[in-house]
Structure 1
Amino acid sequence: MVSSQASLTTALASGDLRRVHHIALNVQDMQASRHFYGSILGLHELTGNEVPATLRELVAAGKVTNFVTPDGTVIDLFWEPDLTPPDQDPHRAFTRANHLAFDIDPQLFDTAVEVIKQNQVSIDHGPVTRPTGRGIYFYDPDGFLIEIRCDPEAII
């Protein structure tokens, strides 16, 4: 039986959710995606005992790869070789998600832009400068929109 106090709870309180645990993305070409997230974006790929125990069999079978951001958010890439978006034009949204944004130190922003360009990553738009900072939007190997952004540099 549910207590009367539990039945009165209609929403989580601010702070109940502690952090983003992980982000899961379906990818068509696991090797291209591993190269993109690991070698181009520089995220750390989890190996050995770093891999969550619940995913070790899938990782061993080559069906999942895990990366971690510097703040500890895990990005799980699930291999879906038959994955195709409803529309092959990446400028037309094909999911309810808009984009995944990574924050970077303002002094490293131009370097990130050059890395994206040198690796011939498909750029959607940018770099752009706004009151909220600078950003560049580009596509991962499966056409998912990624942003690298930074806060405005401090005025000295």
Structure 2
Amino acid sequence: MVSISNSVKTGITTGTLRRVHHIALNVQDMQASRHFYGTILGLHELKGEEVPKTLIELVAAGKVANFVTPDGTVIDLFGEPELAPPDPDPKRGFTRANHLAFDIAPELFEQAVEVLRENQILIDHGPVTRPTGRGIYFYDPDGFMIEIRCDPMD
């Protein structure tokens, strides 16, 4: 366990970190994960010149796939065929990360829910309605929880 000292003298100045650069996920079945993130979620897969130079060889070998969200955040999928969560039940978390959330326009939320249902994506819970908007929580092929959420309708 990491302890945080009250004697910290300096820290990174607020506003110095600009944005999330990328999110890296280990995936067991690259083909299933590419289908999920590219086809089901509709994220753009980086190809050719779009692939970061540091990952070209891994992408060419089929060991990495890169997707980009509309706001420019890159999701790197690292193929780990031997990877298995400690518990095959995806409802039992096996990582410190809780979930990855994607924002959607309120008028498109129900359409996204229907896509999940049509593709028989395992839904954990939802749709839920809260003062902050609506959300639905579901699992990617490796059991990582994903949320699609929207702000409240005006």
Matched, 1:108 2:108: yes
Distance 1:26 1:9 in 2: 36
Equivalent residue letter for 2:105: D
1:57-72 matches, within 5 Å, as 57-72=57-72
What is the TM-score when the length of structure 1 is the normalising length?
A: 0.93
Report the Cα offset of residue 91 of structure 1.
1.0
**Superposed structure 1 runs of 4+ greater than 2 Å apart:** none
Matched, 1:143 2:143: yes
Distance 2:148 2:135 in 1: 6
1:75-114 matches, within 5 Å, as 75-114=75-114
Distance 1:10 1:30 in 2: 42
What 5-or-longer segments of structure 2 have no aligned partner?
A: 1-7
1:114 partner SS: helix
Matched, 1:34 2:41: no
What percent of counterpart residues are identical? 79
What 5-or-longer segments of structure 1 have no aligned partner?
A: 1-7
Equivalent residue letter for 1:111: Q
Matched, 1:20 2:17: no
1:75-98: CA deviations, max 9, x gaps?
000000000011111111100000
Q: Number of residue pairs matched? A: 147
1:89-115: CA deviations, max 9, x gaps?
111110000000000000000000000
Report the Cα offset of residue 10 of structure 1.
1.7
2:126 partner SS: strand
What is the TM-score when the length of structure 2 is the normalising length?
A: 0.94
Report the Cα offset of residue 9 of structure 1.
6.3
